[in-house]
Each structure stands twice: as structure tokens, then as C-alpha cells.
Amino acid sequence: MKNVLLVGGTGFVGAHVCEKLVRQGWQVTVPTRRRLNARHLQHLSLVKLLEMDVHDEVALAKAVQGHDAVVNLVAILHGTQAVFERVHVTLPQKLARVCSAAGVKQLVHVSALGADAQQPHSAPSMYLRSKGEGEAVLLRAATPGQQAAFDLTILRPSVIFGAQDKFLNVFAKLQQVLPVMPLAGAATRFQPVWVEDVANAVVRCLARGRTAATARAPLVLELCGPDVFTLRELVQLSAQLSGINGGRGRPVLALPRWLGRLQARLMELAPGEPLMSRDNLDSMLVDNVASGKCADLQSIGIEPAALRPIAADYLKRNQ
């Protein structure tokens, strides 16, 4: 039986990865700050919950012991420069060190479409810059021939959709209460990918295994669906598929950049996690679509699912 440490396993993508790994016969260890946060995983027989702080390197070093592979799903969408650095750069650095010290054979790291490990500082947002920097530290640690090398796979998904997403569901819920949808970044293009395809990609990459004494060259995959939409089209589609206003949704009011930033600033000041931040808008200065420079889902035998039929099913049920 293979053992995997699933860091960030309690989240949206992590739950799907957990279920698939268990079905494949993997023993899965899921670190969580509070066991209550992982109650939705407790019915899975091969899942072990481990209460710990994944940012504590001493605890992390103990946690990786005895595992064949580590998957890192930890990510944030909002925060300061220091917070992005801690989550997207420093944590991967710690994982590289503890995996190397423990002799872990594989590390699968979920990054983001638009991240660039070669030129991370060229990205328009703190989010994308930190994602690129995190990739860079892992690529340096996994260089073939190095004593500390391990097999590294980097997955770069576009925006992820699925029944529990905080993407299409949010657009639909907003249109239930708002008479008009003020929208920044309305023309930005996305290539949404189904959460099940992302989870399957993680499992397929873990199945690569190690066949030699030294690590293979790192593999970078862009995970995208078959269709490209503007943000405006996605907002309209969420209403159409959930039947809001007779399937017509609400009028979309595209905001100029300056007004979009003001709206985002006000959202940042509201209690709780903001729906939109100024850094999110900075990320949308570039389209979130496949570059064509990396391998894709089809290269590992996964035919990406179309958004419309899947979203139609869960949006109707969730409203």
C-alpha cells in the first residue's frame, strides 16, 4: 500500500483527491489545524487525520516520515505580500527540505495557470508572482542529479468549477439578489477546468512513480477545460443554467478599471473573505487560458470535461 501526505486535503480540490486516492488503495494522511475542518473526510476508511500546523517545519518533518509521496494543495486568493510569500513560497521551500531529508520519492504541487517559474516577477499580481516563485524553489530542489532530488510534478489549473465551487455558485447567488451585475474584468478570458479532472490529474501523476535511482525531469502540466469564456459570459451562463430571472440573469455592467479597483477596495474592507480584491483584478490583466507551451490533460490520458452540462446540473440543485 502506498502512503501519501495530502497537504491542503480538507479543501475543495483536496476532498476530491482524497476520495480518488482511497479508491485506488492509497493510505492518505491529511494534516489539518482542527479535526473539525476535516469532518467531511472522516467516512473514508484509508484517511488518517493529523492535527498540526503545516507551516511548522518541525511538525512537517515528522509528518512526511514514512510517506512515498506528498501533494501540496495549499493556496490562498487574498492577502498581503507577506501572507502570499508565506503560503506560496515559504511552505514549498519547507516541503522541499523535509521531503528531501525524509527520502520522499514524489512531490505533486498544485500551482496556478499564469504562474511563471522562469520569470515570476513579470506577473501582474502578488498571487501569480508568489505562485511562480513557489514553483521556482521546487524546481531548483528537484533538479535531476542533485542528492536531494525527488520526482516533481507541477499542475497549473485554470479556474476550477464543480458542485461546491466558489465561482459559478457565487455568480448565481449574487444574481438572485442584485438587479444588475457590476463586473470588473468582464473581458478577461478563462478556460475553466472541472474539479474531477484536476483530482484525476493528481492521481495520474502520482502513478508515474519513480523508476530510477535519480529523479525524473520535472513535469509541468496546464490543466484547462475545452472551452474559453470571458468573465462576462461565465456570469451570464451561471444565471442561465440556474434559471435566474427566467434564465436571462441580470444585466452585466462592465466596470472600467478604476471603478473596478474602487469596488474591490470596498470589498476588502468588508468583514470576512472578500468576493474580489485589487490583487484579483491585477491577475485578470492577463487571460487565464492555456499557453500551449506545456503538456495538458490529454497528455496524461484525461479528456477534459465541458463546463456547460456539468454546471447545469449542480447550479440547478444549489439554488
Q: What is the CATH number of the domain that holds 121?
A: 3.40.50.720
The domain boundary, picked from 223, 243, 276, lies at 223
200 falls within a domain: yes
Say yes or no: 278 and 217 in one domain. no
Q: Give dist(CA 297, CA 163) in Å, integer.
A: 21
213 — pLDDT class (breaks 50, 70, 90): very low
Q: Are 265 and 278 in contact (CB under 8 A)?
A: yes
Q: Can you give the pTM of this predicted structure?
A: 0.94
> How far is CA 102 from its chain centroid?
26
| DSSP-based three-state secondary structure for 82 | helix
Say yes or no: 256 and 244 in one domain. yes
Could you read off the pLDDT of 127-172 as tens digits, one per residue? 999 999 999 999 999 876 645 568 999 999 999 999 999 999 999 9
Q: Which domain holds residue 270?
A: 162-190+226-288+305-318
Percentage, residues of the chain above pLDDT 70 = 95
- What total number of domains does the chain contain? 2
Say yes or no: 247 and 146 in one domain. no
What dihedral do alpha carbons 135, 139, 140, 144 form, nearest 10°? 170
Say yes or no: 260 and 199 in one domain. no
Q: Are 253 and 236 in contact (CB under 8 A)?
A: no
The DSSP secondary-structure symbol of 39 reads G
The DSSP secondary-structure symbol of 209 reads -
At residue 234, the pLDDT reads 97
Burial zone of 181 (CB within 10 Å; 0-12 exposed, 13-18 middle, 19+ buried)? buried
Going by C-alpha positions, the residue among 100, 82, 102, 80 that lies closest to residue 90 is: 82
- Give the pairing type, strands 219-223 and 295-296: parallel
54 falls within a domain: yes
Q: Give dist(CA 298, CA 98) in Å, integer.
A: 32
Residue with cell 487574498: 78
259 grid coordinates: 471603478
The DSSP secondary-structure symbol of 49 reads E
Q: What are phi and psi of 194, to 5 degrees?
A: -70, 140
Could you read off the pLDDT of 252-291 as tens digits, one per residue? 999 999 999 999 999 999 888 888 999 999 999 999 999 9
Q: Are 6 and 26 in contact (CB under 8 A)?
A: no
Say yes or no: 170 and 151 in one domain. no
Q: Give dist(CA 90, CA 230) in Å, integer.
A: 33
Going by C-alpha positions, the residue among 92, 250, 100, 88 that lies closest to residue 183 is: 250
Say yes or no: 268 and 214 in one domain. no
First to last CA, the chain: 41
294 falls within a domain: no
73 falls within a domain: yes
| DSSP-based three-state secondary structure for 104 | coil
At residue 90, the pLDDT reads 98
Say yes or no: 75 and 105 in one domain. yes
The domain boundary, picked from 223, 243, 272, lies at 223
207 falls within a domain: yes
Q: Are 110 and 202 in contact (CB under 8 A)?
A: yes
At residue 41, the pLDDT reads 82
Say yes or no: 149 and 185 in one domain. no
300 falls within a domain: no
Say yes or no: 29 and 76 in one domain. yes
Q: Give dist(CA 181, CA 307) in Å, integer.
A: 21
Say yes or no: 273 and 263 in one domain. yes
Say yes or no: 156 and 61 in one domain. yes
Amino acid identity, residue 200?
N
CATH number at residue 279: 3.90.25
At residue 212, the pLDDT reads 47
Average pLDDT over residues 213-237: 89
Is residue 214 over pLDDT 50? Answer: no
Is residue 237 over pLDDT 90? Answer: yes
295 falls within a domain: no
131 grid coordinates: 505562485
- Give the pairing type, strands 219-223 and 160-161: unpaired
At residue 128, the pLDDT reads 98
Q: Are 94 and 55 in contact (CB under 8 A)?
A: yes
Say yes or no: 134 and 241 in one domain. no
Average pLDDT over residues 184-212: 90
71 falls within a domain: yes
Q: Give dist(CA 69, CA 51) in Å, integer.
A: 19
At residue 319, the pLDDT reads 65
